[in-house]
Structure 1
C-alpha cells in the first residue's frame, strides 16, 4: 500500500509482556469503568475486555482504597495493567509497589518535588510511565502563554514533562496529548512526533457515545496513523468499554495497519433487500466478538449483486426472499434457508479458520 509517510521510528519499551514502539504492532488499549475498589466487578470487566482483544488495560485510582487493591486485581488477570493516577504521588508509589506494569500520570498536577520519588520507584520496579497530557489539566503558565489549550500548549507541556523525567535518568516513557477537539489533537501529536522519538499513545478524550466516538476517533487517530504516527491507541466511548476494542481494531484494519479479527462488510440495503439483514449483521457481530482470525465476511441483502460485489470475501451470504446464497471468494457454494443463515455461516467460518491454522502449523 502506498502511504504518504512510513511508520515513525520510536524507542521501544515494554508494558508487561507487550512491546510499545520500535517495530512492534500498534497495541490496543482500553480502560475499565467499573469501581476499582470492587475487585470482582473490575476483574470481570477486564476479562471481558481481554476476550474482546484488549492488550493493555487501565484502571482509575481515585483514592487510597482503590490504590490498595491494585495488586489483588493484577493477580487475577492475564493482560498488562496500568494504574491511572492524578495529583497524589503516594497512590503512584502504592501502585508501583504492587507491581503495576505501568502508571499514567501528569507530572504537572503532581508536583515536581514528588516526581523524583515516583521515578525512582518506577526504575526500581521496572514500571513504565505514561505522561498523559490533557487539554483540561494543563499548567496555568502554559495556558496563559498560549491563551488556552492549543496544540502548541499541549505539545510544550508534554515535551517539558518528558524532559523532566529524562533529566531524572528515566526513559521507560510514552506520551499522550489528548483533546476532545480533533484538529487540536492531531496538530499536537504532529508537533511532538517531529521533536522526539518517544512512543506515542493516541486518543481523542471525551469522545462521547458510540457513534460520536467512532467518528472522532476514526478521524483523529486515523489521520495520524496514516501518517505513521502512533504506537498504541485507545478509543474512548461513553458506555461499555468492550465496544472500544472493536472500534480500535476496526480503525487499524481499515488502514491496513493490523488485520486482527473479522472484517464484516454489509450493504446499506435498498428496496431489493428481502431478508432481515440488520438482525443478521448484529447476530454475526455478537457471535464473533473476540475472534482474532483475519477473515473478510460479507453479508449482502441482494442475490443479484451480492457475490459479485463481495467477490474478495472469504465467505458470505447474499439474501433473497426467505433464502440466500452461501458463497466463498465469489463462488456460490449452495442455497440455504434464511433461518439457517447464522448457523451455516458460523460453521463455514469455523471450517475456514481451522483449515488456515492447519496450513500455518505445517
Structure 2
C-alpha cells in the first residue's frame, strides 16, 4: 500500500466543480474528435462521453470560431471543459473568456514571454487552472543536445522550466502533463516528475495507436505509473471513437482497484467444449451491462457447463453455455436452466432485480 500513497502529496486543483490532486479520485479525461465549431455535434459527443463515465472533456481550439463556440457548448454540458491551445496566445485568451474551465498550453510554442504572460493574467482573472503540457515530440533542441536525444530527463526538465516561468508570473494553479509514445520513457518521466514536483499530473501515453495497440500500450504504461501512486487524471489516447478511450480508462482504474462502481465482465477464452457463440454473447453482455454502471458487480460469461459454475464462483452473477441451453448462475450456484436464445434476456432480468 505504501507505493499507492504518493498521490496524497500533490496539490489540490479545482476544475469547475471537480477537484483533483491531494488523493482525490483519479478522473477520466477524453477529447472530442468533432470540429469544435460544430456545436451540436460536439455537445452530442460530450453527452455520450459523460454517460459513458468521462469526467473531464477537452476540445481543440484551432481558431477564433472554435474559441467562441465554447460559450454555447458550455451551456449544454455538465462536465468541465478544457480548451486545447497551440501557437496562438490569443486563442487561449478568447477560450478563457468564452468559459473554458481549464486550458492546455505548451508555453514553448505560445511565443514570447509577454504572450505567455497575457494568457497567465487571463487565467488569473478567471481563476482557472493551466495545464502545462510537454510531449516528447516537442522537446527543445537544446535539451535534445544536452541529453543526447529525446529522454525522460529532458521531458521533465522542459516541463519544469515552463512551470517555473509561470510561477515567476505569480501563478501556481497548474497541472502538469508529460507524455511520450514510448511507454518506458513515459514511465521514467513520471517517476522523475513525481520526485521533483507536487503539482497534479495528467497521465497518458500519447499517440498510443489504434484501438487494439493503443489500449495495450496505455494499459501497460498507465498500469505501471498508477500503481506507483502517480497520476491524478488519465486519458487513454486512441485513434478511434473517444467512447473507447473512456471504456479502457474505466477498466484500467477498476483493475488496479482505483475506481469502484460499474459492471466488470469476465469471460473464458473458449475451447473445444464451447457449443454456443460465446464471442458474440460476451460482446452482447458487455454492451448490455454498460447501462448498469451504477452497480458494483462482476458478471461472468462462460462457454460451457463443465467449468461454468466453478469459474463463475467469484462473480455476482453469470451465464454458462451448453448445447441449446445454458445455466444462470448466482454466487457460484446454478439457479436455473435457460434456452440458449434466452440467456441474454435472463441475465438482463436478474440485473434489473439488482438495481
Q: What is the aligned partner in structure 2 of residue 222 from structure 1?
A: 223
Equivalent residues of 2:67, 2:98 under 8 A apart: no
Equivalent residues of 1:131, 1:158 under 8 A apart: yes
* Cα RMSD after superposing both structures: 1.2
Q: Which of residues 285, 310, 313 is equivalent to 1:311?
A: 313
Taking the aligned partners of 2:42 and 2:149, their CA distance within structure 1 comes to: 36
Q: What is the aligned partner in structure 2 of residue 358 from structure 1?
A: none
Q: What is the aligned partner in structure 1 of residue 81 from structure 2?
A: 81
Aligned positions of 1:100-119 closer than 5 A: 100-111=100-111, 112-119=113-120
Taking the aligned partners of 1:4 and 1:320, their CA distance within structure 2 comes to: 45
Superposition deviation, residue 4 in structure 1? 4.4
SS in 2 for 1:270: coil
SS in 2 for 1:253: helix
Count of aligned residue pairs for this structure pair: 352
Superposition deviation, residue 5 in structure 1? 4.2
Taking the aligned partners of 1:6 and 1:95, their CA distance within structure 2 comes to: 35
Superposition deviation, residue 118 in structure 1? 0.8
Unaligned runs of 5+ in 1: 355-362
Equivalent residues of 1:108, 1:138 under 8 A apart: no
SS in 2 for 1:205: coil
Taking the aligned partners of 2:331 and 2:274, their CA distance within structure 1 comes to: 21
Q: What is the aligned partner in structure 2 of residue 99 from structure 1?
A: 99
Superposition deviation, residue 3 in structure 1? 6.2
Taking the aligned partners of 1:136 and 1:299, their CA distance within structure 2 comes to: 43
Unaligned runs of 5+ in 2: none
Q: What is the aligned partner in structure 2 of residue 284 from structure 1?
A: 285
Q: What is the aligned partner in structure 1 of residue 148 from structure 2?
A: 147
Superposition deviation, residue 144 in structure 1? 2.4
Does the alignment pair 1:123 with 2:124? yes
Q: What is the aligned partner in structure 2 of residue 334 from structure 1?
A: 336
Superposition deviation, residue 309 in structure 1? 1.2
- Bigger shift: residues 287-296 or 274-283: 287-296
Q: What is the aligned partner in structure 1 of residue 36 from structure 2?
A: 36
Equivalent residues of 1:249, 1:260 under 8 A apart: no
Taking the aligned partners of 2:6 and 2:311, their CA distance within structure 1 comes to: 32
Does the alignment pair 1:294 with 2:322? no
SS in 1 for 2:290: coil
Q: TM-score, normalised by structure 2?
A: 0.96
Q: TM-score, normalised by structure 1?
A: 0.95
Aligned positions of 1:1-362 closer than 5 A: 2=1, 4-8=3-7, 9-111=9-111, 112-289=113-290, 291-352=293-354, 354=355
